[in-house]
Chains A and B, each alone.
Chain A
Amino acid sequence: MKNHFSIKKLLFAGLIIAGISALSTGCGGGGQNGSESGVLGGDVASRVYVKPGTYDEFYAFISGGFSGQISVYGLPSGRLFKVIPVFSVDAEKGYGFNEETKPMLNTSYGFIPWDDSHHPELSQTDGQTDGRWVFINGNNTPRVARIDLTTFETVEIIEIPNSGGNHSSPFTTENTEYVVAGTRFGVPYPQKDVPIDSYAENFKGALTFISVNPEDGDMDIAFQILLPAFDYDLAHSGKGASHGWTFFSSYNTEQKNTLLEVAASQNDKDFIAAINWKKAEEYIKAGNFKEFPARYANNEYSDETHTATSTMKDKVKVLIPSECPGLVYFLPTPKSPHGVDVDPTGEYIVGNGKLSADLTVHSFSKMLKAIENEAYETVIDGIPVLKYEDVVAGVVKKPGLGPLHTEFDGKGNAYTSFFISSEVVKWKLGTWEVLDRGKCFYSIGHLCIPGGDSKKPDGKYLIAMNKITKDRYLPTGPELTQSAQLFDISGDKMELLLDFPTIGEPHYAQAIPASRIVDKVKKIYPIEENKHPYAAKGEKETKVTRNGKEVHVYMTMIRSHFAPDNIEGIKVGDKVYFHVTNLEQDWDTPHGFAMNGARNAEILIMPGQTETLVWEPQREGVFPFYCTDFCSALHQEMQGYVRVSAANANTPLKWKLGEEEVQ
């Protein structure tokens, strides 16, 4: 595969283009963005130009926010490759509509077709992104999903019990021992019917550690830690020296339950909760936990049966800080911190106090010393609050307004997003001086540097994710796209290279050198490994069976026909299961299946896979089905018919392909 392009050639071409455009411009056009591109606009274009037929250098996984999905982009081109359905049904792919994937969206509340997906997090090995999985949280009905990066499919979803709004999630530890979840909304623990005003007395905030099996990625809730009912906003785990700790930011330490925009903004300092999870493991091992009733679903998809199963679990291990000394400490941090970000060395913990004029950075080593000296400001519910002066490493003075999130380039620099002043600010760790500013258009939330929250950042680019785009793109009515902006951060100054629209709301993204994924990508599902109970692994295995009103069609597809493609003997009132196996074993040969009048969706079946679409015919007649994915020169011929007779008719069940009747 050609995935490199000659940078020199491109630069040369770019300079010529720049020269031409410098000569020919001077006339207006595109008034809004003149300031940041300048006369060398063509040169900038060449740096995001990925020649047709060549690969991007990075994969970027950008969250879909209220779309509930993850979208996969290439960097630096900003080209969209795939939208991976995660928490929301996707009629295009049949996700959540076919029988196989419905269990993925099962919860303790039943089937839920939507969620709000916020933070993609790549798995790590030794603190470096390893390209095995990407995790993402469901914010509304608390869940964490795992996507397999060999298939780019969601393979597991676990619900977080006794939690309300899973926002501080799913940030990983340095070897993906755990991904975490933390409730953004205090809730009664466990849930019960109490007056809302009894918040301070009855409500709690649970932080959840989800273990990840290093072999197959299988997730399980290892334990929860019961904290006061603050709003736990974001998290990051330590690395290097601070490996073994996870930090959660919090706001609403006022513990208010109404008009939070005022009531939760009163305290000068809120807290970063420092969790010693190695200590937690010791307490669990020693049996020093309580078991609480819980109801949560754990859904897993198998690449062999091509089917998901949903298991309901009913209890969870809980650690109570007052009974587990040394487990949790609070670090006072001004003011309603959003992101809590640990630098690549593991020493600095950046508290992005979103209502603060300054940016506070804590020191891990000073924190350990303060803990050793037992120098506590106070103790809340058995949790020691360390003294601000004892833990603070430094303060970035007046860097901007509304700091939200910080990532690192691995060269001693930090980059923080400022929502209110719409900018990315580059500053130096240790000296706390501001080095550079990059404008965002407009209202940046999170930002992303490839590997920027890991021990070994891959640097080079930064993506700013913006909430508001106003005049940046051709308008599309009241609803406008949100956007990502690509900066080159390889030099001293940030350079804005590209603006590109995103799917849904890009809350956060993670990016990884493509080389860590490309060679592991699966091209087909081997048909001999297909263990779907209704698979027909060859045309000879196709058949139609009836059991009362339930009809099962074992169907195959291969260029360019279905087998069988004529079916008779179906009756009004039947429930027809089309189990369709794609017999292809070549890369990029999916087939689709769509049934006239089916009240669900199409199914899109990858080579070697079996999927099931249910159809409940309502009327007598002869109804066509066809392939929806343009598969071959004879794609238009890839079609068939089902004859539907009256409920009391005696039409015999029969089926065929070509002139040979299969039955």
Chain B
Amino acid sequence: MKSLPRILMVLAVLALLTLFVFPMWKIVLYAPQYPDGVEMHIWINKIGGETKSTIQNINILNHYVGMKKIEPDAIKELKYFPYIIMVMAALGLLAAVVNRKGFYLTWVILMAALAIAGFYDFYLWEYDYGHTLDPHAPMQFEDASFQPPLIGRKEIINFTAVSLPHISGYFAGLSMVLATSAWWFKRKIGR
């Protein structure tokens, strides 16, 4: 019982590290010609998809309306996000060593702030992607927005786009729940 907060915090760190093992987010595009959907995966350090060629396939579809190519190498967030997560994991372990409720709480707040920042960044990225259109694109739609939903479902011309957390996204959420409970139990147990 006494070591429960520490165990919870270590589990929180492990859950956070799944970000390096599984994709954290997915955007699936459905259309009559794509009954199984075209599924794009966003990782902490890369963008991929259900198949090796998903990004190429999405880029081909998007070029008709003049959307920018998704070029993972050009997305700087994918470069520095992994370091932030590693720092957070290290801080998490440090919190487990120090084992003070204040440290746990600080970690949770920091993590929540990062998540909010991450979502905001994701929104900006989606906005840019959905609104920066090539004026010479073969197909022009007046007032059309190609911005995918932040979370949930949205109709984009002939496609239905569904944006949802993927495996490690859920684990990251779990990580925060675990860290919060570490703080909770530490507070209950007292010193």
Inside 8 A of A584's CB, which chain B residues have their CB?
60
Q: Which residues B18-72 have CB closer than 8 A to chain A?
A: 36, 51-53, 56-57, 60, 64
Shortest distance in angstroms between A361's beta carbon and chain B's nearest beta carbon? 50
B53/A585 in contact, CB under 8 A: yes
Q: How many residues of A contact B (CB 8 A)?
A: 12
**Minimal Cβ-Cβ distance residue in A for B51:** A585
Residues of B within 8 A of A291 (CB): none
> In the complex, A632→B51 CA distance in Å?
21
Contact A586 B138, CB 8 Å, known A526-B52, A633-B64, A634-B64: no
Determine the distance from Cα of A586 to Cα of B38 in the docked complex, in whole angstroms: 10
User: In the complex the two chains form, what is the Cα distance from A586 to B53 in whole Å?
Assistant: 7
Contacts of B53 in A (CB 8 A): 524, 585-586
Residue of A nearest to B57 (CB): A586
Q: A526-B52, A585-B52 are in contact. Are A633 and B57 (CB under 8 A)?
A: no
**B interface residues, how many (CB within 8 angstroms):** 10
Instruction: Find out whether the CB atom of B60 lies under 8 angstroms from the CB atom of A559.
Output: yes
A558 at the interface (CB under 8 A from B): yes
The reply to whether B138 and A634 contact each other, CB–CB distance below 8 Å, is yes
Cβ distance B34 to chain A, nearest Cβ, rounded Å: 9
Proximity bits, B84-128, A CB within 8 Å = 1, else 0: 000000000000000000000000000000000000000000000
A573 to chain B, nearest CB (A): 38
Are A585 and B64 touching (Cβ within 8 A)? Answer: no
**Is residue B139 contacting chain A, with contact meaning CB distance below 8 A?**
yes
CB closest chain-A residue, reference B38: A586
Contact digits for A335-346, partner B, Cβ 8 Å, 1 yes 0 no = 000000000000
Which residues of B are found within 8 Å of A524, using beta-carbon distances? 53
Give the A-B contact count at a CB cut-off of 8 A.
22
Contact bitstring A558-586, B, C-beta under 8 A = 1, else 0: 11000000000000000000000000111
Known: A526-B52, A634-B64. A585 touches B57 (CB 8 A): yes
Cα-based distance from A215 to B79 in the complex (angstroms): 44
Residues of A within 8 A of B36 (CB): 1
The minimal Cβ–Cβ distance linking A372 to chain B, given in whole angstroms, is 60
In the bound assembly, the distance between CA atoms of A151 and B52 in angstroms comes to 19
Contact string, B126-142, partner A, CB cutoff 8 A, digits 1/0? 00000000000011000
Q: Which residues of the other chain, B, contact A558 by a CB distance below 8 angstroms?
A: 60
| Residues of the A chain whose Cβ atoms lie less than 8 Å from the Cβ of B139 | 633
Q: Which residue of B lies closest to A528 (CB)?
A: B52
- Interface CB pairs A-B, < 8 A, 20: A1-B36, A524-B53, A526-B52, A558-B60, A559-B60, A584-B60, A585-B51, A585-B52, A585-B53, A585-B56, A585-B57, A586-B53, A586-B56, A586-B57, A586-B60, A632-B64, A633-B64, A633-B139, A634-B64, A637-B138
Given A586-B56, A634-B138, 16 extra CB contacts under 8 A: A1-B36, A526-B52, A558-B60, A559-B60, A584-B60, A585-B51, A585-B52, A585-B53, A585-B56, A585-B57, A586-B53, A586-B60, A632-B64, A633-B139, A634-B64, A637-B138
Residues of A at the B interface (CB closer than 8 Å) are 1, 524, 526, 558-559, 584-586, 632-634, 637
Seen from chain B, the residues whose Cβ lies within 8 Å of a Cβ on chain A are 36, 51-53, 56-57, 60, 64, 138-139
